[in-house]
Amino acid sequence: AKSAGGNRFEHADAEADARAITRHGLTTSLPTALERGEFFIEYQPLVHLADGTVHGAEALVRWSHPTHGVLGPDRFIPLAEHTGLIVPLGRWVLEQSVRQARAWQEELAAGTFGGPLRINVNLSPAQLHHPGLVADTVEVLERVGLEPGSLCLEVTESALIGADEDLLKPLRQLAEMGVDIALDDFGTGYSNLANLRRLPVSVLKLDRSFTQGMQQHPADPVDIKIVEGIVSLAHSLELAVTVEGVETGTQAEHLRMLGCDTAQGWYYARPGPPEMLHTLSLADAV
């Protein structure tokens, strides 16, 4: 059942996951889950490290399976990628998220909410390769009436390693329209740092493993050096740095001191329903 939040779905062993998927027959129920309305989205706030105010939220999809309960994305995104469902599912997530961001902004304008609110949406490699990405995104933004600058698309570093100009072109077009592109799980993909200059990204999302190195006091000296280096490089390229997986005040304080800009993690809030953002933002706005 859905209650604890966060990484209750996370499985260390991908192979065991693959076996579980086959065993539970998720393969047969996934293709029609979208039309049955079984997916839903939880939102996790991103906060400014400097003062704890809300910067935006990341949309994280879940599958409410009729017999297996709530399944996390690690359980079905790989399968959705494999079957091609990820394209319509990704489009659905984008539309829901853009609508939610628009709704928050309307509440903000009405003075019932302490925004400002931006929305982060994950893009899988298959969506990047899909020719309709730019047109679909533009269409949704226009129809819903959300500024492109309120949307951030997250692409993993590994999806862009060795990417040629054909793959980068749609991202470049979106970036030129004002959509932010974030490099997710940054620091795990062994990408050439000099390569960053040719990617149309405006945000680096430091992988959770660096946050874990900030748990002790004093923090891991090697991780400190690495994060210092990444932050200084990012800022010199005018990229913002987001950290994820912040679970304690110690981590938050180290990462703030190191100059990271925004943060996300259980320390601030677990992923939850959109209403959760209200209480959080109002509390922080004071």
Residues binding ligand C2E (CB under 6 A): 6-7, 9-10, 44, 60-61, 72-74, 77, 90, 93, 122, 124, 154, 184-185, 244-247, 264-266, 271
Asked if residue 116 has a cis previous peptide bond (ω within 30° of 0), the answer is: yes
Residue 77 binding partner per list ligand C2E, Ca ion, none, with a CB distance cut-off of 5 to 8 Å that depends on partner kind: ligand C2E
Residue 95 binding partner per list ligand C2E, Ca ion, none, with a CB distance cut-off of 5 to 8 Å that depends on partner kind: none
Residue 202 binding partner per list Ca ion, ligand C2E, none, with a CB distance cut-off of 5 to 8 Å that depends on partner kind: none
In angstroms, give the least distance from the CB of 238 to ligand C2E. 23
In angstroms, give the least distance from the CB of 77 to ligand C2E. 5
Tokens 């998720």 appear where? Answer: 26
Cβ closer to ligand C2E: 107 or 125? 125
262 and 229 in contact (C-beta within 8 Å)? no
In angstroms, give the least distance from the CB of 93 to ligand C2E. 4
In angstroms, give the least distance from the CB of 122 to Ca ion. 5
Residue 272 binding partner per list Ca ion, ligand C2E, none, with a CB distance cut-off of 5 to 8 Å that depends on partner kind: none
| DSSP conformation letters of 193-207 | GGGGGGS--SEEEE-
Cβ closer to ligand C2E: 244 or 261? 244
Binding site for Ca ion (CB under 5 A): 122, 154, 184-185
Q: Which is nearest to 227 in space by CA: 187, 188, 198?
A: 187
Residue 242 binding partner per list Ca ion, ligand C2E, none, with a CB distance cut-off of 5 to 8 Å that depends on partner kind: none
Cβ closer to ligand C2E: 1 or 110? 1
In angstroms, give the least distance from the CB of 260 to ligand C2E. 15
| DSSP conformation letters of 35-76 | TTT-EEEEEEEEEETTT--EEEEEEEEEEEETTTEEE-HHHH
In angstroms, give the least distance from the CB of 236 to ligand C2E. 25
185 and 203 in contact (C-beta within 8 Å)? no
Query: Beta 180-186 vs 240-243: how paired, if at all?
Result: unpaired
Cβ closer to Ca ion: 154 or 261? 154
Cβ closer to Ca ion: 113 or 261? 261
Q: H/E element holding 186? A: strand 180-186
Residue 265 binding partner per list ligand C2E, Ca ion, none, with a CB distance cut-off of 5 to 8 Å that depends on partner kind: ligand C2E
Under 8 Å CB-to-CB from 154, ≥6 apart: which residues? 58, 120, 121, 122, 123, 181, 182, 184, 205
Cβ closer to Ca ion: 105 or 211? 211
195-223 CB burial, b ≥16 within 10 A, e <16:
ebeebbbbbbbbbbebbebbeeeebbeeb
In angstroms, give the least distance from the CB of 44 to ligand C2E. 6
260 and 242 in contact (C-beta within 8 Å)? yes
83 and 29 in contact (C-beta within 8 Å)? no
